Amino acid sequence: MPYKDIINDICSNIHTGLIDFEKPRSEASMPTQASSEFITNKQQGDWAEDILFRAINDNSENVVAVRYGKSDDLVAGDEGFEKFFNEYQSELDTIGKRPDILLYKKEDFDESLGYDISSKSSQEIGDYVSKAIAGIEVRSSAFLFNKYTAENNRVVRKNTERAIDLKNIILDEYVDLLEQKRPELKTILQQLNETSVQSIDYRKPTWKTSQRLQELTDNLSELKDCLKVIQKRNSLSITPKMEDLKVVHKWIMTYNVPHFYVQVFFDKVYGVSFQHILELVSNPDLEDKKYFIEQDAKNQNKTTIKIPSQDGTCLAETVTEPNHQSVRKELNKGRLLFYVKFDGGEACLDANKFESLFGIKI
- Rounded to two decimals, the pTM is 0.91
- Name the β-bridge partners of 261: 137, 272
Round to whole Å and give the CA distance between 138 and 278.
Answer: 17
pLDDT of 299: 60
Q: Are 278 and 262 in contact (CB under 8 A)?
A: no
- Run of H or E residues at 302: strand 302-308
Round to whole Å and give the CA distance between 83 and 106.
Answer: 35
User: What is the number of residues in the chain?
Assistant: 362
Average pLDDT for 254-283: 98
pLDDT of 286: 95
Q: Are 281 and 17 in contact (CB under 8 A)?
A: no
- Name the β-bridge partners of 304: 241, 294
> Would you list the domain boundaries of the chain?
3-139+237-358, 146-231
Q: How far apart are the first and last CA of the chain?
A: 25
Position 356, amino acid: S
Tens digit of each residue's pLDDT (9 = 90 or more) over 134-174: 999 999 999 999 999 999 999 999 999 999 999 999 999 99
- Run of H or E residues at 347: strand 346-349
pLDDT of 109: 98
Q: Does pLDDT of 302 surpass 90?
A: no
Round to whole Å and give the CA distance between 169 and 225.
Answer: 16
